[in-house]
């Protein structure tokens, strides 16, 4: 006996022979007993008016920041201790080694040839030289690198800003304020300066 699921066709295909009435059992489809979950209705999207300053890109604001720095309206201040960290995007460990290794070599040579008294004096002199002259030259090199490379490229600037160790200070009393990385937003700082101009 054949089983037909659903409704039997009202217009049967004449090419197929009709089954015998006694040999066919018909299972009629009924209403489903499981309801499918309905997709939640999407809330209406509110129409928001975007102020023109919010539509400015980071490149445009960075170009304006560079112009403010060139005009003297913004001073870039650096935290050298933070920027000399090994993970800093503007410092290289090799820069410090350029001072340490030659001073160590001279100290060892003086110790070897002239004895421990001269060697100890050379060691103390080397440490003082490194902590004064060496650190000052390293700080100048980092500052030059920030001014020549980081302030020329927005990608490097954003990387340095998210690392920290740099702050922007307005030189104008009316729009004064300091914007310190990484907690403050340098783009908002530039927008504030633009409005105050």
- Residues 109 and 158: their CA atoms lie apart, in Å, by 46
Predicted pLDDT at 21: 53
Do 83 and 161 sit in the same domain of this protein? yes
Residue 175 maps to a domain: yes
Q: For helices 58-71 and 186-196, what crossing angle results, to 10°?
A: 60
Predicted pLDDT at 124: 92
Residue 58 maps to a domain: yes
> Which CB contacts under 8 angstroms, 24+ apart, belong to 102-108?
103/129, 103/130
Do 96 and 138 sit in the same domain of this protein? yes
Do 85 and 161 sit in the same domain of this protein? yes
Do 159 and 67 sit in the same domain of this protein? yes
**Domain count for the chain:** 2
Answer whether 107's CB lies under 8 Å from 122's CB: yes
Which structure tokens are listed for 112?
């070897």
Do 115 and 141 sit in the same domain of this protein? yes
Which structure tokens are listed for 31?
């209403």
Peptide linkage before 19 cis (omega within 30 of 0): no
Predicted pLDDT at 6: 52
Q: Name, in order, each residue with C-beta under 8 angstroms of 140's C-beta and a sequence gap of 6 or more.
A: none
Please compute, for residue 1, the number of CA atoms within 13 A of its CA located in the half-sphere on the CB side: 7
Answer whether residue 113 shows pLDDT above 60.
yes
Which structure tokens are listed for 86?
């090994």
Residue 32 maps to a domain: no
Strongest mean pLDDT among 14-23, 53-62, 143-152, 168-177: 143-152
Domain that holds residue 82: 53-89+152-197
Predicted pLDDT at 50: 47
DSSP for 157-175, written as a single string: HHHHHHH--EEEEE--STT
Residue 35 maps to a domain: no
**C-alpha radius of gyration, the chain, whole number:** 38
In the structure, what pLDDT confidence band is assigned to residue 140 with cuts at 50, 70 and 90? confident
């Amino acid at each position: 006996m054949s089983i037909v699921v659903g409704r039997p066709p009202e217009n049967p295909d004449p090419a197929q022979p009709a089954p015998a009435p006694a040999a066919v059992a018909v299972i009629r489809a009924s209403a489903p007993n499981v309801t499918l979950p309905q997709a939640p209705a999407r809330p209406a999207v509110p129409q928001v008016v975007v102020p023109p300053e919010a539509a400015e890109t980071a490149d445009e604001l960075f170009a304006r920041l560079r112009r403010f720095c060139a005009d003297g309206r913004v001073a870039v201040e650096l935290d050298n201790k933070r920027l000399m960290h090994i993970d800093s995007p503007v410092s290289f460990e090799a820069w410090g080694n350029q001072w340490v290794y030659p001073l160590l070599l001279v100290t060892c040579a003086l110790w070897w040839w002239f004895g421990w008294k001269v060697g100890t004096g050379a060691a103390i002199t080397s440490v003082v030289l490194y902590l004064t002259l060496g650190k000052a030259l390293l700080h100048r090199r980092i500052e030059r690198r920030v001014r020549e490379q980081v302030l020329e490229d927005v990608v490097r600037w954003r990387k340095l800003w998210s690392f920290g160790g740099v702050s922007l200070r307005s030189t104008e009393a009316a729009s004064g304020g300091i914007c310190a990385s990484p907690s403050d937003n340098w783009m908002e700082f530039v927008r504030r300066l633009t409005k105050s101009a």
